[in-house]
Amino acid sequence: MQDETNDAIDELHALLDPAAVIVSFTGAGISTESGVPDFRSPGSPWMIHRPIPFDAFVASREARVEAWRRKFAMDDHFAGAMPNRGHKALANLVAQGRSPGVITQNIDGLHQDSGIPEDRIIELHGNGTYATCLTCGWRHELAAIRPAFEASGEPPRCIICSGIVKSATISFGQAMPEAAMRRAHALTMRADLFLVAGSSLVVFPAATFPAIAKRNGAKLVIINREPTEPDAIADLVVRAEIGPALGRLAG
Ligand SMILES: [Zn+2]
């Protein structure tokens, strides 16, 4: 098995080395290696409570209080998570001009922390490291919101328009961000190699991007610990952790 994995990693680099436009698509698997829990895995703090749907968050003060209480408890859970060798490898590809950017399902901001410029990161599920006003879109920093929430017990309101403030993630029942989906599609169409790293590719419509890339003539490479549906159309599947698989590119 170890030899097989090493062979697959050699094959992976044989495909990556000549590729001119590498577009990466990342999911929870790249961040679990940094200690960020996968919200769908059994025993994760996300699975203890039923998720609060977007409609309930907007409609109910109690739901907002509960959502913010959970949000800050979860943040404490993986406070200090740092980018790992997988993140650094992808950041190097961007820095070297070999990758125009990364599409991610993650909300942890670790691609930004790894040094990839904000405009090269497309976040399909938003970002949990800050909050926005649902009415005017103003960005609110968690460091400012949290002490006020903990002191008053009141969910935060926008300082500009008094609108409802929510973590900048896409909640259950909330529409996918259209602009991000459009950018992700355009980026996918530029790829000559589409690299999936740590996504089980089950959340739609995001999971359709590998097939779009493949149909458009790109090579498709999937690095994931578990089998995924698009494995069947991939040029290479690597069953390994992302850090060890991509580590040679981490510098
Ligand atoms: Zn506002």
| Sign of CA pseudo-dihedral 40, 123, 27, 235 | positive
123 CB-near residues (< 8 Å, 6+ apart): 104, 106, 107, 177, 180
Q: What angle do CA 226, 182, 218 make, to 5 degrees?
A: 55
* Whether pLDDT at 245 is above 70: yes
Q: Read off the pTM.
A: 0.92
pLDDT tens-digit profile of 158-186? 999 999 999 999 988 888 889 999 999 99
77 three-class SS: helix
220-244 pLDDT, tens digit per residue, is 999 999 999 999 999 999 999 999 9
> What is the average pLDDT value for the chain, to the nearest integer?
92
Ligand 1 centroid to residue 134 C-alpha, Å: 7
Ligand 1 centroid–CA 164 distance in Å is: 7
**Cα(93) to centroid of ligand 1, in Å?**
37
Contact 46, 37 (CB under 8 A): yes
Is 125 labeled as catalytic in the residue annotation?
A: yes
pLDDT of 1 over the 70 cut: no
Task: Determine whether 201 is exposed, middle or buried from the number of CB atoms within 10 Å of its CB (0-12, 13-18, 19+).
Answer: buried
Tokens of 132: 């926005």
Q: What does the alpha-carbon distance between residue 250 and residue 92 come to, in Å, rounded to a whole number?
A: 7
Q: Order of strands across the sheet with 121-123?
A: 121-123, 101-104, 22-26, 193-197, 219-223, 236-238
Q: Is 235 exposed, middle or buried (0-12, 13-18, 19+ CB in 10 A)?
A: middle
- Of the residues 111, 125, 140, 185, only one is catalytic, namely 125
C-alpha to C-alpha distance for 149 and 156, rounded to whole angstroms: 7
pLDDT tens across 16-54, in order? 999 999 999 999 999 999 988 776 665 555 556 778 999
Query: Dmax over Cα atoms in the chain, in whole Å?
Result: 60
CA of 232 to the centre of ligand 1 (A): 46
For 176, which DSSP code?
P
* Least confident residue range of 33-47, 75-89, 207-221: 33-47
